Structure 1
Amino acid sequence: MTTIAYQGEPGSNSATLAHELYPGSSMLPCTSFEQALDAAKFGDVGLAVIPIDNSTAGRVGDVHHFLPDSGLFVVAEHFLAIRFDLMGVAGSSLDQVECVRSHAHALRQCRKILREGGWRTLVTDDTAGAAREVAELGDCRHTAFAPPAAAQRYGLEVLRSGVEDDPDNTTRFVVLSRDAAYCPSTGQPTMTSLYFSVRNIPSALYKALGGFASSAVNLTKIESYQMGAGLKASRFYVEIEGHIDEPHIALALEELRFFSSEVRVLGVYPAHPHRQRRVRQLDG
């Protein structure tokens, strides 16, 4: 057994997934993503379970900025269906609601009901923490968007269930470790995540990515990040289908390194079954 770090309080989606993936393990709730990453980096825990992007609200920005310099590696991914309930203190009703509090990312996943209600919002550190704060306030005017488990944990009443905009709302989590434990190349669906910075020459990005096209490597994600205070986006995050030991991917990475000042493989890990299910849904 190993200790697992996650951002949030007990009752959050991160806590639920951490218990699901590593039942019986000790858990370390953290107030911020940076704290959870540091706990893994400095050996306080064995692994960190961190959300990286959401199908409705997009990427979790802070995480992507912290990862390149964290020294950690992705060893697994997991897609979790995300559900939020609007919850308030016992005895409250929907017509009493004036304020909804939750994590910023959760508020962006529930825009429709916020527009309908015309309520003001208050950003909290995490969703389960928002539920705890509402319970502590004991005020019928204050509510929270939080996972269903938080209502029972903090003795709150569900005023409306399933308030997320998209019924297929899904968040992708990654499991991070200090050790670069690349999964073996077995022919099973595999993902590779990496960061790179292009050299300061004309068309460097075009040429760096050209190897993926000529080697028929499928990029599922590419995102840019600014370095320092400048306006030049010089660092890129890429996810590709396949294993670094496959010849066509090794060839693409060789070309990438030629046109880059830095290439760091962040992880080589099994593709979660959700990816194949999603492809079948789109094709069907």
Structure 2
Amino acid sequence: MENFAAPARPIVARMTQAAMAEPARAVAFQGAPGANSHVAATEAFPDGLPLPCFDFADAIDAVKDGRADCAIIPIENSLHGRVADIHFLLPESGLVITGEHFLPIRHALMGIGPRDGIRQAMSHPQALGQCRHWLKAHGIEPVSYPDTAGAAAKVAELADPTIAALAPPAAAALYGLDLLATDIADADHNTTRFVTLARGGKPP
């Protein structure tokens, strides 16, 4: 939990405690609360208990160790291609794919503003790649971070008006940031495909 930026830790702690109490309902995802994977987890499993994990390996381990019933993991995006890390981890995970979920991606720029003073945008490399033309047009330098909502929490922690985050719009309210721009992906069809990973398959 210490890997998460300070503003995210109390939320992570509450969600982790709830998931630990009912592991059969827990759905592991990579990223801080408010990340696209969190959104996908709540859409795909409305009765589930999302369990935040700092990286993909942690999410997979949560399922393998029985702390979560399944994990929901992004594997490819319509704009930026495959999510490289998971293609290395999936074959050796010992888990099986039991479902998939398609999530339309809506990126927002958030910070403590103002927008014309933003010089850097932090986010997951996939998000930065999906908004690279927009960022370049506005003279904003992309800065890689492990996940989108985690970047929002880090921006809140830094409290630097020149540094913003690219994250789902709801992350702004979670971490006390201002929405500076919305729907800034380089194409409207921006969609990510997620797969559900579990210890065993379901009968057909």
Cross-structure match for 2:34: 11
Residue in structure 2 matching 1:68, options 91, 96, 101? 91
- Amino acid of the structure 2 residue aligned with 1:38: D
**Following the alignment from structure 1 to structure 2, what is the Cα–Cα distance between the partners of residues 3 and 97?**
38
Kept in 1, the 8 Å contact 2:28–2:52? The answer is yes
Cross-structure match for 1:52: 75
| Residue 107 of structure 1 pairs with residue 128 of structure 2 | yes
Displacement of 1:37 in angstroms is: 0.8
Displacement of 1:84 in angstroms is: 0.3
Alignment TM-score, normalising by the size of structure 2: 0.85
User: Could you report, residue by residue, the CA deviation over 1:178-203 in whole angstroms, capped at 9, with x for unpaired residues?
Assistant: 00225x2xxxxxxxxxxxxxxxxxxx
Q: How does 1:201-280 map to 2 (within 5 A)?
A: none
Displacement of 1:94 in angstroms is: 1.7
Residue in structure 1 matching 2:119, options 74, 78, 98? 98
**Following the alignment from structure 1 to structure 2, what is the Cα–Cα distance between the partners of residues 54 and 16?**
15
Cross-structure match for 1:190: none
The alignment yields a C-alpha RMSD, in angstroms, of 1.2
Kept in 1, the 8 Å contact 2:44–2:101? The answer is no
| Residue 135 of structure 1 pairs with residue 156 of structure 2 | yes
Residue in structure 2 matching 1:43, options 63, 66, 69? 66
- Amino acid of the structure 1 residue aligned with 2:154: E
Displacement of 1:21 in angstroms is: 2.0
| Residue 119 of structure 1 pairs with residue 148 of structure 2 | no
| Residue 86 of structure 1 pairs with residue 109 of structure 2 | yes
- Amino acid of the structure 2 residue aligned with 1:96: G
Question: Higher mean Cα deviation, 132-141 or 142-151?
Answer: 132-141
Show structure 1 runs of 4+ deviating over 3 A: none
User: Could you report, residue by residue, the CA deviation over 1:112-171 in whole angstroms, capped at 9, with x for unpaired residues?
Assistant: 111112222211110001111111111110101100110111111111111111111000
Residue in structure 2 matching 1:2, options 1, 19, 25? 25
Bigger RCO (CA 8 Å, 6+ sep): 2
Alignment TM-score, normalising by the size of structure 1: 0.62
- Amino acid of the structure 1 residue aligned with 2:51: L
Cross-structure match for 1:168: 189
Q: Which runs of 5+ in 1 are unaligned?
A: 185-284
Q: Which runs of 5+ in 2 are unaligned?
A: 1-23
**Following the alignment from structure 1 to structure 2, what is the Cα–Cα distance between the partners of residues 17 and 67?**
19
- Amino acid of the structure 1 residue aligned with 2:166: F
**Following the alignment from structure 1 to structure 2, what is the Cα–Cα distance between the partners of residues 83 and 26?**
23
- Paired-residue identity, %: 48
Displacement of 1:24 in angstroms is: 3.6
**Following the alignment from structure 1 to structure 2, what is the Cα–Cα distance between the partners of residues 162 and 27?**
25
Cross-structure match for 2:11: none
Structure richer in strand, relative to its length: 1
User: Could you report, residue by residue, the CA deviation over 1:228-254 in whole angstroms, capped at 9, with x for unpaired residues?
Assistant: xxxxxxxxxxxxxxxxxxxxxxxxxxx
Displacement of 1:83 in angstroms is: 0.5
**Following the alignment from structure 1 to structure 2, what is the Cα–Cα distance between the partners of residues 178 and 2?**
14
